[in-house]
Amino acid sequence: MNDKAWLLLFAVWLVALVSTLGALFIGEVMGQIPCNLCWYQRIFMFPLAVILGISLCRSDYAMWIYGLTLSLAGSLLAAFHTLLYFKILPEEVKPCMQSGPSCSGEAMMLWGVLPLPLLSLVCFLFISIGLLMISKIVKRNV
């Protein structure tokens, strides 16, 4: 293909990998229990790291459609979570259990500055945009 497609694929894989490792670090090392919405977002992010990594090793640019499906679904969930976090959606909409971790509490901040739902949304959107750019390159070179 070309170097631009490979670099884009590498960039989106790197974001997915760092997101996956970051989520595991926050949960397993820092001991923070993820809320329900965080679990659902993990369901979409973790396979992205694997799928994009395999695609990168094989230089398989046609996989953009599979990755895009996962990243767009993750983007929707992350957007919903971000709206809950910033209290744009009413309290009644909260999907998190009363006894479990909060979807919008102080624990949803990384180092007290960066809201995790917003970080997740940015990562999913970056991956989605990168995969759309790869699709344009692939379609142009066919």
Whether the pLDDT of residue 126 is over 80: the answer is yes
Q: Identify the domain containing residue 123 by its residue range.
A: 3-140
What pLDDT score was predicted for residue 141? 76
Whether the pLDDT of residue 103 is over 60: the answer is no
Residue pair 17/60 in contact by the 8 Å Cβ criterion: no
What pLDDT score was predicted for residue 95? 62
Largest Cα separation within the chain, whole Å, is 53
CATH classification of the domain holding 124: 1.20.1550
At 71, the pLDDT band (50, 70, 90 cuts) reads very high
User: For the chain, what is the domain count?
Assistant: 1
Report which of residues 130 and 105 the model is more confident about: 130
In the chain, % of residues over pLDDT 90: 49
